[in-house]
């Protein structure tokens, strides 16, 4: 492992911070991390690109499959035989998938679980308890992880997705509760990979014994690498957001602008965001390791924020490579695998002739949706997307509204149609008397 000294409690992330002058971060002493922006976002400031003294990893020829031996035109390729086929088929295993998030986060992994089951593996999907019926209705074993996805999503909305909360109420009430939920999630990852489902045979009736021989997880399940170490089994990280360093674009939580340029500051943004996140969870992780897993604690010099990188854990990123191609500096451990879709029963919905004609255009529409996440300002977000469509010279189509009644509240759906561009968002009105709240619409003349 790499050796360095991360920040201690009370340290500030400044250019002269001692932890930035030793070990791996010796070259980061010129980077400035501003923790107190008025809107709560972190702000990373860097010197000129050519002044950043940083050696970033590059994939080797062998990693890219372009070694001299492979390129030798005089070498006769060996024919594949039955032994090659046998070696390429993995043994049947018990696999646990650890997922933290909303239904939209869980759904792709349910499709992955079904495919693994089709290949003969025993698969358990461990996620929040509210998704038990959803998971089991698709024929996949379940285990309840801690945490409430609604509370987690509400926390992100209340803090605006900021890593550093700015309101006293958030610091005194919301942050402690969020840490409590993270601790619940971490603690539940161990029985998720090693115990029977307490309600697997019905309410209060345990299911069959289970012990994972391989683990798939998203990075925000936190306990993944530690329970994998305890069991001595392989781990594979999968996520729909970039989570490993690259010079191609910045970390999604870094608040750095995307410039389209190959920049060292992009690479450093991942290191610094990981360091901040580890600073908030390292204590509970070490308590989990020592008290529950009976493993040694992660020492300061181990740099816990980079365990997944240091231990060469493979990552698969779940977005279309046509949207964002795999960065050239990722090497063979990291890949962009495309989107994963759960096959559901065919819809009985029939679009109007006008909508059907629009959807039938060459190439189809571009759809922008927000899943089950609550938007703090849906109108502003929609306006931003529409402005982007205008910049792309997309002609506007007529709009339509649809009111849908639910048991608890009314949902207002507004659909904006553009030439090959469609935006859907919903506005939740918490009081039933607001059911007739209308969204102001202005005709842009197109």
pLDDT tens digits, 246-305: 999 999 888 888 999 999 999 999 998 899 889 889 999 999 999 999 999 999 888 899
Residue 283: its pLDDT value, please?
A: 93
Rounded distance between C-alpha atoms, residue 97 and residue 217, angstroms: 5
- Report, as an integer, the average pLDDT of 209-226: 97
pLDDT above 50 (res 13): no
Window from 128-142, 174-188, 418-432 with minimum mean pLDDT: 418-432
**Per-residue pLDDT for 376 more than 90?**
no
pTM above 0.75, yes or no: no
Which residue is listed with tokens 């860097």?
A: 46
Q: Taking 70 as the threshold, does the pLDDT of residue 235 lie above it? A: yes
| Packing angle, helices 149-158 and 175-194, rounded to 10 | 150
Instruction: Name the pairing type of β-strands 214-217 and 94-98.
Output: parallel
Residue predicted with more confidence, 113 or 300: 113
Model confidence at 319: pLDDT above 60:
yes
Residue 79, pLDDT score:
56
More confident residue, 195 or 7: 195
Give mean pLDDT, residues 354-365: 66
3-state SS, residue 140? coil
> In this structure, what token pair is assigned to residue 350?
């029939």
Quick check: 44 pLDDT over 70? no
Is a pLDDT exceeding 70 seen at residue 437? no
pLDDT at 421 (0 to 100): 41
pLDDT the model gives residue 172? 60
Q: Which domains, and CATH codes, for the chain?
A: 90-336 (3.40.50.2000), 353-436 (no CATH)
Q: Which two tokens stand for residue 323?
A: 């949207």
How confident is the model at residue 234, as a pLDDT? 97
Give CA angle at 316 (193, 131), nearest 5°.
Answer: 45
Return the closest-CA partner of residue 103 out of 345, 368, 372: 372
Distance, CA of 366 to CA of 390 (rounded, Å) = 13
Long-range residue pairs from 291-298, CB within 8 A, at least 24 positions apart, any chain: 292/187, 292/190, 293/190, 293/226, 293/227, 293/229, 293/230, 294/230, 295/226, 295/229, 295/230
Residue 359 predicted with pLDDT over 80 = no
Nearest to 281 by CA among 192, 215, 220, 232: 220
Which residue has better confidence, 220 or 368? 220
Give the pLDDT confidence score for residue 337 in this predicted structure. 96
The overall average pLDDT reported for the chain is: 74
Residue scoring higher pLDDT (308 or 421): 308
Decide if pLDDT at 63 tops 60: no
Tell whether the model's pLDDT for residue 429 goes beyond 60: no
Highest mean pLDDT among 10-24, 80-94, 253-267, 424-438: 253-267
């Amino acid at each position: 492992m790499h050796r360095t000294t991360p920040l201690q409690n009370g340290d500030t992330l400044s250019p002269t911070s001692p932890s930035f002058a030793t070990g791996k971060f010796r070259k980061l002493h010129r980077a400035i991390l501003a923790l107190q922006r008025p809107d709560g976002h972190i702000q990373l400031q860097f010197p000129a690109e050519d002044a950043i003294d940083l050696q970033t990893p590059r994939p080797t020829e062998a990693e890219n499959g372009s070694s001299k031996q492979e390129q030798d035109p005089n070498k006769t390729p060996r024919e594949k035989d039955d032994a090659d086929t046998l070696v390429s088929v993995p043994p049947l295993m018990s696999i646990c998938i650890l997922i933290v998030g909303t239904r939209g986060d869980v759904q792709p992994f349910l499709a992955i679980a079904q495919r693994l089951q089709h290949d003969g593996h025993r698969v358990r999907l461990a996620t929040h308890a509210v998704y038990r019926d959803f998971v089991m209705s698709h024929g996949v074993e379940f285990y309840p992880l801690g945490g409430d996805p609604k509370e987690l999503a509400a926390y992100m909305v209340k803090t605006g997705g900021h890593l550093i909360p700015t309101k006293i109420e958030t610091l005194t009430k919301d942050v402690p509760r969020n840490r409590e939920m993270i601790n619940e999630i971490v603690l539940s990852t161990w029985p998720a990979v090693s115990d029977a489902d307490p309600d697997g045979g019905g309410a209060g009736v345990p299911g069959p014994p289970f012990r994972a021989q391989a683990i798939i997880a998203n990075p925000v399940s936190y306990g993944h690498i530690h329970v994998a170490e305890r069991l001595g089994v392989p781990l594979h990280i999968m996520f729909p957001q970039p989570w490993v360093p690259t010079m191609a674009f910045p970390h999604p939580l870094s608040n750095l602008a995307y410039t389209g340029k190959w920049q060292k500051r992009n690479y450093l943004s991942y290191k610094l965001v990981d360091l901040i996140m580890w600073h908030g969870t390292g204590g509970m992780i070490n308590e989990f390791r020592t008290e529950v897993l009976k493993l040694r604690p992660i020492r300061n010099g181990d740099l816990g924020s980079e365990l997944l990188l240091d231990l060469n854990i493979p990552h698969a990123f779940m977005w279309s490579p046509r949207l964002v191609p795999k960065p050239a500096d990722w090497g063979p451990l990291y890949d962009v695998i495309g989107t994963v879709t759960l096959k559901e029963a065919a819809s009985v919905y029939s679009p109007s002739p006008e909508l059907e004609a629009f959807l039938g255009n060459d190439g189809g529409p571009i759809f922008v949706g927000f899943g089950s996440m609550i938007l703090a300002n849906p109108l502003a977000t929609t306006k931003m997307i529409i402005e982007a469509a205008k910049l792309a010279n997309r002609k506007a189509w007529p709009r339509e509204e649809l009111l849908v009644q639910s048991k608890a509240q009314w949902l207002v759906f507004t659909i904006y149609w553009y030439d090959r561009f469609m935006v859907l968002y919903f506005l939740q009105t918490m009081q039933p008397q607001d059911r007739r709240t209308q969204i102001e619409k202005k005709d842009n003349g197109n």
